[in-house]
Amino acid sequence: MADSFYSQIAANRRNSLLLALLVIALFGALGFSIGFAVTGGPEGALGVMGIAILIGSLTAVASYFGGASLVLSVSGAKEVDETSAPQLMNVVREMAIASNIPMPKVYVIDDSAPNAFATGRDPKHASVAITTGLLEKLDREELQGVMGHELSHVRNFDIRFAMIVGVLVGSIALLADFFLRFTFWGGGRSRSNNRDSGGGGLQAIFFVVAIVLSILAPIVARFVQLAVNRQREYLADASSVQLTRNPYGLERALAKISADPEVLEVANRATQHMYFTNPIKKFEERATGLFSTHPAALDRINRLRELTGERPLDGPEAAQLAGLD
């Protein structure tokens, strides 16, 4: 079990890093090609890419310091303490000690749909939010599994990692949109004049490359972002087992939460990636399976079963879980 457990963690971290590097490479290639297409030279290309990086960095700083408070406010989360939620605080404290991180602030969301998320820029400024539905429907072992998962996100700096990738993806979309609008409103005509004069052959090539990348890069980057999110969920599951030494609580929690028909009203497309399981159900109009932010619950459960040497779920039970998310 130990070899399988640590190999899962190593593979998930490696895959996440490779995917993040792919987003960075896309951003660099798009910025350079647009810069060359607009200015006609490598110096201008590097300048445009530098401006794009600066804007992305400023956005990242704003998200870094203000993102957690905004998400908690939008979710209607209320802070609790030892008096108002003694068992929850006890479980979170246990998992914080096991994770070797400071005790996070604990919030409760008044919603009957069972779910939870973690937020904050680092372990010293972390918060966890839990719905009342999760507290009512899960037993203590299952709650430990979920809290171990969420505090693993904190310990592994997944929130910061996801924020960096998200800002890069957003910057790619903004840069591509700016260039396409610039081209549509006449920016391309000046490029054509340069080509006619005989000095813009290379610039014309970069102009075509920039248009193609402006169309494809945001789509590819979004898929990569979703893949990163899914890898970090697998990593947090494995890390939760490391903390609790009990894969069964987490496995049961995944099955219960995924099978629950309640809709989490406070969740939206901007925050859905943060939750323990995808809060937007398949049967909802706002659901888009193509852009799923989480691995399927069945896949997560079967990975946990691999750690204990149990056979994967199959038959009617597996079919039921597969049809939910």
- Measured CA distances, 234 to 114, 127, 306 (Å): 19, 21, 13
* Rounded distance between C-alpha atoms, residue 285 and residue 16, angstroms: 30
Q: Give the max Cα distance, the chain.
A: 78
Distance of CA 276 to the CA centre of its chain: 11
Q: Which two tokens stand for residue 54?
A: 């600066």
Question: Which among 136, 141, 150, 262 is annotated as catalytic?
Answer: 150
How far is the first Cα of the chain from the last one, in angstroms, to the nearest whole number? 28
- Nearest alpha-carbon partner for 151 in 91, 99, 75: 99
- Please say if 150 is a catalytic residue: yes
**How many Cα atoms within 13 Å fall on the side-chain side of residue 13?**
12
Residue spans of alpha helices (H) in the chain: 2-39, 42-74, 86-99, 132-137, 140-155, 158-182, 188-196, 201-244, 247-259, 297-307, 315-322
- What residues act catalytically? 150
